[in-house]
Structure 1
Amino acid sequence: MINRARRTGSSFALAAALTRTGLTALRVTAPGGRERWERKNHAGRTVGLYAGPTCAVAAAVGTARVRTAAGLAVLAAGVCGAYDDVVGAQDPRRGFRAHLAALRGGEVTSGAVKLLGVSAAGLAAGAAMKERPLDKVLAGVVVAGAAHFVNLVDVRPGRAGAAVLALGAPGLVRKGPGARTAAVAMGTAAAVLPDDLAERTMLGDTGAHALGATLGIAVVAGNGRAGLLAHAVALVAAAVCGEKVSEAARSLV
């Protein structure tokens, strides 16, 4: 019990330390110029995108200590989010339906790249972590669904980080890699939460997708088929509800 708690605690501490170090380094150096790292948030304030890449790298490193393939999936989810942060910043289209409709029309949007890329990363992680075909698919849905869910709630400062802390906490009581991966997600989120709340930085799709994928991997590592099915159903339902709410909100603008 004590050794397990120590391993979980060390995973949290390592993820937090990597995140704070990376955040500080990026803020100081701002590769390519500060204008590349600045965005306007919902309130019109200028914030930095430094938290996103640092979260993605820290979460990937921490998760890779548990399972290499899972760490690569987290990094891939972050990269897909980064592509949408950079390329899709001026695209007014939001939601699965809009991007899939564009794809059917022959246009590959940044949102479609993100959707397909994160889904592929989730399925790859599921294939590496589970043995039976159905479990592999369910695991992929959980990882990709969790990545989308955290991004979905990232609409105001601190909400995504708080969601990761709240959703990751129950995973700490599990044994083995599930608890350590949940600790990685929580440590990473906790490290950037103060700056996020103070509106000095934002996660963007990069950080939100990476943190969500890490949470999903924690669920996959700590659950059998019944647990995977329950989480998959809940995440798909959340995605559908989120799409409807988003569409309703856009119709009122």
Structure 2
Amino acid sequence: MQVLPIALSAVAAAAVAPGLRQGLVDGGHTVKNYRGAELACPLGIILVAAIALTLGALQAIDSFGWHGDGLFFVVSPVFVLGVAALGLFDDAYSGPSRGWRGHGAAVRRGEFPSGLLKAVGTVGLAAYAIQLPPYPETGNLAALDIGPYIVADPDSHTAPYLLSVVVLVLSTNLFNIIDLRPGRAAKGLLFVVIGCTIAVGTELLDAFGVYLGAIAVVAVYDLRERGMLGDTGANLLGAVAGLMLVTSITSTLGLALCAAVLLAITAYGEFRSISAFVERTPGLRHLDSVGRIHNPRKDASA
């Protein structure tokens, strides 16, 4: 496994995080969390900045030949940074409508809410991200050797393509839904990382290290209530999770099952409270609370 992308990403995030977070507070960019504390938001801009800096550094290293182990490849940075940008727009201009039902009601009133724009943009970016590799013999994990191309089944393109797009869109949206408590979205991504790594091996992490290093740093800020991810950060985490899933799943049936699970959780979140479900489920309640502070201060500069 290549350590440099993860290390550079983490260092970049640690370097820019204090200043960007304080800038959010000084600029009045704070929101109330679930217990009424005013926190800096969105911390997702730290992720965007750190990932961009890391991509530039890795490109420079590749260009000057300073890395002897071969080129660095990153899976679909356009999708990851693109959905983060859509989330930033939603953080800045979101209206009262929430969820698919709320957006539908807004459209019937002749409105076009920022959340719907985010959803439509995510579909477009997902359709762009799932590209067939240029060589027919290259598929699935082998696609990591040629850059940001993903394909689940090179022998039958249509169903895997459409299902992969669905998985990306649902995953991105789902992480917005679950990001209602400190550290919950990061813990969800951690389970995806562990599962995909067990399934296909640590070589999968080579193409995602640029994201994971920065996410690990910002997750600490989120978990310790030093700020909130916002749609910017939640979108980004959901995009990374979706990309890991579609890159790891090796069959059309697997993609269909994954899409079905994501759709079921999303539908549940539309009509019921995921937080309430977590609170009344002992194992999930314990995992959800791990790492949180016990006596948090209620100010944005904490």
Which band: TM-score by shorter chain? Answer: 0.7 to 0.9
Among 188, 193, 202, the residue aligned to 1:168: 193
Among 236, 247, 251, the residue aligned to 1:210: 236
Aligned residue number for residue 135 of structure 1? 160
Aligned partners of 1:185, 1:234: CA distance in 2, in Å?
24
Aligned residue number for residue 87 of structure 1? 93
Aligned residue number for residue 195 of structure 1? 221
Identical amino acids, percent of aligned pairs? 30
Aligned residue number for residue 75 of structure 1? 81
Match status 1:13 vs 2:40 = no
Q: State the TM-score, normalizing by the size of structure 2.
A: 0.70
Aligned partners of 1:112, 1:214: CA distance in 2, in Å?
21
Aligned partners of 1:53, 1:208: CA distance in 2, in Å?
11
Q: Secondary structure at the match of 2:11?
A: helix
Q: Secondary structure at the match of 1:129?
A: coil
Deviation at 1:83, TM superposition (A): 0.8
Deviation at 1:143, TM superposition (A): 1.2
Deviation at 1:171, TM superposition (A): 2.0
Aligned residue number for residue 48 of structure 1? 40
- 1:61-111 CA distance string (max 9 Å, x none): 66x95346x1101111101111111101xx332111110232243210011
Is residue 52–residue 203 contact of structure 1 (8 Å, CA) maintained in 2? yes
Q: Which amino acid aligns with 2:150?
A: M
- 1:7-54 CA distance string (max 9 Å, x none): 2x43432332232223134135x27x8234222222221211252112
Among 2, 19, 26, the residue aligned to 2:20: 26
Is residue 86–residue 232 contact of structure 2 (8 Å, CA) maintained in 1? yes
Flag structure 1 segments of 5+ consecutive residues without an equivalent: none
Deviation at 1:207, TM superposition (A): 0.3
Aligned residue number for residue 299 of structure 2? none
Aligned residue number for residue 73 of structure 2? 66
Please say which structure displays the higher CA radius of gyration: 2
Aligned partners of 2:8, 2:171: CA distance in 1, in Å?
22
Aligned partners of 2:37, 2:12: CA distance in 1, in Å?
27
Q: Secondary structure at the match of 2:31?
A: strand
User: Which has a greater percent of helix?
Assistant: 1
Aligned partners of 1:176, 1:136: CA distance in 2, in Å?
25
Q: Secondary structure at the match of 2:272?
A: helix
Is residue 58–residue 188 contact of structure 1 (8 Å, CA) maintained in 2? yes
- Residues 1:213 and 1:58: Cα distance change in structure 2 (over 3 Å): farther
Flag structure 2 segments of 5+ consecutive residues without an equivalent: 60-71, 132-148, 277-302
Aligned partners of 1:178, 1:106: CA distance in 2, in Å?
45
Aligned residue number for residue 266 of structure 2? 239
Q: Which amino acid aligns with 2:12?
A: L
- 1:178-213 CA distance string (max 9 Å, x none): 333454554333211222122111100000001110
Match status 1:144 vs 2:169 = yes
Q: Which amino acid aligns with 1:111?
A: G
CA RMSD of aligned residues (A): 2.7
